[in-house]
Structure formats: C-alpha cells, structure tokens
Amino acid sequence: MTVREAEHPLFRLLDWFMRPATRVALLLGLAILISALAAVYASHETRSLFGALERARLEHDRLLEQRGRLLLERSTFSAYGRVETLAVETLDMQVPTSDDIQLVRP
C-alpha cells in the first residue's frame, strides 16, 4: 500500500474499523440499542395486557351483576305462591277436594 492509498478516507475508515476497541464499542452500542428496543417493547406489551385485564374485570363485574339479577328472577318465578296463582288464574286449576282424591295401593 502506498502513502497515497493510506491517506484515502476509505482506507482510514477501514483502519478505524479494524481496531479491537472500535469493534468492542460498536458491539456494545448495538447491545444497548437492542436492550432499549426490548425495554420499549416490554413496556408496550405491559400496557396492552393491563388494558385487556381491565376490560376483563369490567366484563366479570357485569356478568356477576347479571347473574344476581337472573338468580333473583328465578327465585321470584319459582316461588310457591306465584306458581299457585298462575295455575289458578291462567290454567283454571284448583286444589282437589277430599272426595276427588283416590289412594292407589300397590
């Protein structure tokens, strides 16, 4: 290599890249960049998952509230007095008299 080639900017740049300290510094810089990107991704993922958790909690609360209303409705519709009232009013049913009851023996 001549002196003129050694003065060329590309040769100086190549010489700079060939130094061990430069390679170590570039590798450390790359590691820092990758670490920073991983931290940003983890932060974004955490926020996204927290939002999903909050939506699931709201849905859970809504479903618990609906369950309570449905249980109350079921107990209201299955109450003995309500069944008897509906049987008498809607189906014209009545409690049988003792003369209408027949015992069957096996």
Angle at 31 between CA 25 and CA 32, to 5 degrees: 90
What does pLDDT average to in each consecutive run of 10 residues of the chain (106 residues)? 64 77 90 98 98 98 97 83 83 85 85
How distant is the alpha carbon of residue 48 from its chain centre? 9
- Write down the domain spans for the chain: 3-91
- The helices-and-strands tally (H runs, E runs) of the chain is 4, 0
Provide the pLDDT for residue 6: 59
Provide the pLDDT for residue 80: 77
